[in-house]
Every structure is written in C-alpha cells, then in structure tokens.
C-alpha cells in the first residue's frame, strides 16, 4: 500500500519516497496499486507516469472507512530519548488513534519536539498495518493550554499520585464523542497540574497496579480504550 495526500482531480501524485518504493518493486505505468490518503480512503489506482522523483496514479475506485478510534486524542509529555517517542508513535498508529499531541509539564524532560520525523514514522506504520487513517501529529503545547482546550469534552488524566482518587480506565469508557487522554512525564504530573485538570472537568484514571513508563502507558491506555470500543459495538 502507498500513501499520498496530493489529489488532483482523478489522479494522485506520489512523492519521492513513495516513487522510490515503486521503483524498488519494479512497477511501471499500467500497473495497479492501492493508495491511501490517510483520511480514511483507500484508492485502487493505475500508475500513469513514474519518473525519478514523482509518480502519478489514476483513481479507478475508492473505499472509505470510519474507525472508532478517530475520536481519540492522546497527549503525551515527551521523553528525553526521542527514539522512544518514535517507537510510541509507530505503535499508537498501529493500534489506532485520531491525534497524537505533546505537552510541556513541570516535570518534563523535553520541551521541544520536531514532528516531521514522527509523521514519517506514522505514515510507515499506517501502511504496514493496512490502515487508511493517519493520526494527526500535533505540535507541542503547554500543559495548561491543553487542559483548558479539553474543557467541556470527555477527558482523562492518568497520574500515579496515590493520595488522589482515581478510577480504572475501562470502567469509564464509551465511544461516543471526542475523547482526550493525557499521559504525564516520567516524574508524573505535578499535584497542581492534576488539580487544574480536575477543575477542567477531567477524570483521573489508572491502568492498574504497575507503574508504567510514559510510552508504555500511552500504548496500554489506547489498547484498553480500543478494546472498550469493540466491546461496546
């Protein structure tokens, strides 16, 4: 499966990376390929032209799919090691999420992040897992900004403070409407950050007794949410 976000009338234009893949597979004009736009559409196409750095494919038919997970947005405090974040983005794409965002918290190890490489990782994972939906990779923002943007929405914050009440995530999950999930840094959310989240109407949740690393917590949480979606359907 190939990826293109560049549709012009009844043709899709593939970039240099996708075109290189066509060359590796020894495909030529007239050959049929499947292309997704990452928006839930899978196109059956026929290669029209294939040059060194670009290729075009004529759309023959279209299949569209709506995923339960499209309503799920996950916000993570990125770790110092970017390889762990890249791996996480790959796995979240395979599992299925609508948006992956990043936030700066008081205990954050990293306060800047480049999303271009993360998007490439997501595209690769989307194609390998045969999904038609590419998660939107959002730029990093302050925790306070994200908390207030999540107000009046179904939102959850996962923290490790045992002095504050929490509920088990699957016990609070339905697949109606937008869902936001906040995962804190290795040092956890600060107490006043949790308080702000609760003031904004969020529900404090736990995934069980184990203390998980940031990227592991995000993967476990999305797995539990998607499982709840399937069970409810």
Residue spans per domain, the chain: 2-64, 68-232
Cα–Cα distances in angstroms (integers) from residue 175 to residues 24, 58, 94, 122, 191, in the given order: 41, 36, 19, 23, 29
pLDDT band, residue 102 (cuts 50/70/90): very high
Q: Give the pLDDT of residue 51.
A: 86
At the topology level, CATH places domain 68-232 in Alpha/beta knot (3.40.1280)
> In the predicted model, what is the mean pLDDT of residues 69-88?
94
d(Cα 147, Cα 141) in Å, to the nearest integer? Answer: 10
**Does residue 64 contact residue 50 with C-beta atoms inside 8 Å?**
no
Q: Which backbone phi and psi does 127 adopt, to 5 degrees?
A: -65, -40
Greatest mean pLDDT range, 89-103, 146-160, 212-226: 89-103
What's this model's pTM, rounded to 2 decimal places? 0.89
- Is the pLDDT score of 199 beyond 80? yes
| Average pLDDT of the residues in 10-31 | 94
- Mean pLDDT to the nearest integer, 197-222: 89
Segment 25-40, tens digit of pLDDT: 999 999 999 999 999 9
Residues 2-64, CATH architecture: Beta Barrel (2.40)
CA distance 225 to 193: 23
Q: Is the pLDDT of residue 47 over 70?
A: yes
Lowest mean pLDDT among 105-114, 180-189, 201-210: 201-210
Q: Which helix (H) or strand (E) holds 57?
A: strand 55-64
> Do residues 50 and 14 lie in contact, with contact meaning Cβ atoms separated by under 8 Å?
no
């Amino acid at each position: 499966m190939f990826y293109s976000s560049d549709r012009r009338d009844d043709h899709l234009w593939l970039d240099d990376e996708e075109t290189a893949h066509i060359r590796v597979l020894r495909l030529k004009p007239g050959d049929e390929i499947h292309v997704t736009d990452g928006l839930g559409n899978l196109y059956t196409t026929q290669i029209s032209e294939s040059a060194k750095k670009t290729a075009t494919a004529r759309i023959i038919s279209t299949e569209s799919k709506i995923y339960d997970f499209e309503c799920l947005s996950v916000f993570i405090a990125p770790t110092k090691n970017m390889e762990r974040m890249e791996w996480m983005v790959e796995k979240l794409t395979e599992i299925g999420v609508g948006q992956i965002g990043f936030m700066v918290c008081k205990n954050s190890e990293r306060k800047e992040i480049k999303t271009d490489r993360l998007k490439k990782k997501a595209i690769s994972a989307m194609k390998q897992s045969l999904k038609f939906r590419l998660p939107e990779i959002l730029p990093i923002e302050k925790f306070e900004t994200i908390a207030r943007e999540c107000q009046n929405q179904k939102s959850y914050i996962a923290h490790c403070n045992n002095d504050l009440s929490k509920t088990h995530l699957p016990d609070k999950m339905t697949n109606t409407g937008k869902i936001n999930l906040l995962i804190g840094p290795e040092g956890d959310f600060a107490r006043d950050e949790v308080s702000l989240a609760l003031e904004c109407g969020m529900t404090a949740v736990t995934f069980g007794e184990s203390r998980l690393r940031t990227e592991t917590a995000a993967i476990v949480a999305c797995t539990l949410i998607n499982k709840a979606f399937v069970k409810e359907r």
